[in-house]
Structure 1
Amino acid sequence: MLLTLAAIALVAAKEGPQQPLLLTPGDVDPSLLLPPPPAKDSAQGRSELEQLHRVDQTRTTADADNATALGKIKDVSVFAAAMGPGFALDRLPATRALFAAVRVEEKAAVTRGKAHFQRDRPWVSDATLHPCGDPENPDYSYPSGHATMAFSMASILARLAPAKAPAIMARAADYAEARVVCERHFPSDIIAGQSYGMIIGERLMETPEFRARFDEAAKELKAAGF
């Protein structure tokens, strides 16, 4: 655990100074908001591992490549197709800043969640699996950071563009499911990330500072035709 937390701290240092958090650890305490992951030797734990083995046997190269490419997108541009033409962050500075704030908040919350639950990644539990990408420095698996990011952002973006909400939420689900396709996460990691992300989005909307940023992004998107 110490090595994993040290690696997380090193990554954070390389990324430079972060803006102050709007949510305290108590606002999104993973020990209170998420159930513990299923034990490896439980019926659900065995079932999830069997599901990943089925993925391993049926996943095509194209499936893996697509899931890998999705996993490399770690900002709100993942929803560009759902939003439609014109959703370009370089032309939407208030929107870009809003979701950069979401990213900071959800990453901090996920880091605490992973450190609390300490669930091994699938390929650490079973070395016969073949995850997409580089399996080094695996950190922990629960909740899924990608799923948390997707659903925290989706919950807010859907408020900004309610007519596009179904497409936005569908995109979040596809993005999160790609982590199972890649065998980087167990299915329950994704479910936890979905719940955690939605809660983070709700809690952020309750903070006056974030709400002010949200209102600026809403004006900007309206002016851009969204």
Structure 2
Amino acid sequence: MQRYALLLSMLLFSQSALADGGGTSPATVELSNLLPPPPAAGSIAARHDLQVVLSTQHTRTAADMAAAKADADRSVFRFADVFGTPFQASALPKTAAFFTRTAELDKASVKEAKEYWQRPRPSLVSSQVHPLSKEKANDWSYPSGHSTFGYTTAVLLANMVPEQRAAIFARADVYAEHRIVMGVHFPSDVEAGRVAGTVIADDILRDTGYQADYQAARAELRHALGLPADPVTPASSVPAATAVH
């Protein structure tokens, strides 16, 4: 966790330092320039990665597999169990459109990174791995695209509805871990997706080209959930005045 926090802070600082003030929407976020490389083949870290996949495969239940297969759907509406019945595409067209646009940036950014590192999927590394889905040829493993999307989505949703921040990120964790349950990603792929998704979301939140769509989706979602236009800051979270001596 400390490694993740340190890495993420460095990446976000790099994004800020490289930013030119916004105003244009990037076609991709160049993750290959930001993420560390995946564990080298044959390294201790790579062997540990594989062992986690095999251990998860051995212990996964029918319910685990069904839930993981359902989460193969790359959609913001997989977070419906956080928000309840109002959170559905038919009722939230602006929200759906915004996250469709987000998914396109995510997918393009991850594709560039996957092509750069070309890490084989777990089933290509070991015949002992029995994935629950067949991935496309040359669709590489690092970073996890689903995990990236899950965390990009979580950061954006948490900024829209900070009242549900803890539940949103807990759901993103499950969504990402399901890629290991599926047997299609290593833990380090998922960790890289967590960092990548956070960086992409930060980029979106800073980019003026996304602001109109973001604000429209935020207003629509908060209204549908019966929340005030702006979250109320709890009194306990307001810093007390500093005494002057």
Partner residue of 2:48? Answer: 47
In 1: Cα distance, 2:75 partner to 2:207 partner? 21
Deviates more, 1:57-66 or 1:92-101: 57-66
**Which structure has the larger Rg?**
2
**5+ residue gaps, structure 2:** 1-23, 228-245
Amino acid at match of 1:200: I
Distance 1:67 1:116 in 2: 27
Q: Counterpart of 1:108 in 2: which secondary structure?
A: helix
Computed over aligned residues only, the root mean square deviation of the Cα atoms, in angstroms, reads 1.5
Aligned: 1:217 with 2:217: yes
Name structure 1 gaps, 5 residues minimum. 1-20
Identity %: 37
| TM alignment of 1:1-226, pairs within 5 A | 22-25=25-28, 28-71=29-72, 73-135=73-135, 137=137, 139-224=139-224, 225-226=226-227
Q: 1:35 Cα shift?
A: 0.2
Distance in 1 of aligned mates of 2:50 and 2:62: 21
CA contact (8 A) 1:23 1:204 kept: no
CA distance in 2, matches of 1:40, 1:65: 31
Q: Deviations over 1:83-105 (max 9, x none)?
A: 22311121111111111110111
Aligned AA for 1:22? Answer: S
Kept after mapping to 1: 8 A contact 2:132/2:183: yes
Kept in 1: contact 2:129–2:183 (CA 8 A): yes
Shift of 1:59: 1.8
> Could you say what secondary structure the match of 1:101 adopts?
helix
Q: How far, CA to CA, are the matches of 1:24 and 1:90 in structure 2?
A: 28
- CA drift at 1:138: 5.5
Quote the offset at 1:215 in angstroms: 1.0
Q: TM-score scaled to structure 1, two decimals?
A: 0.85
**What TM-score comes out, normalization by structure 2 length?**
0.79
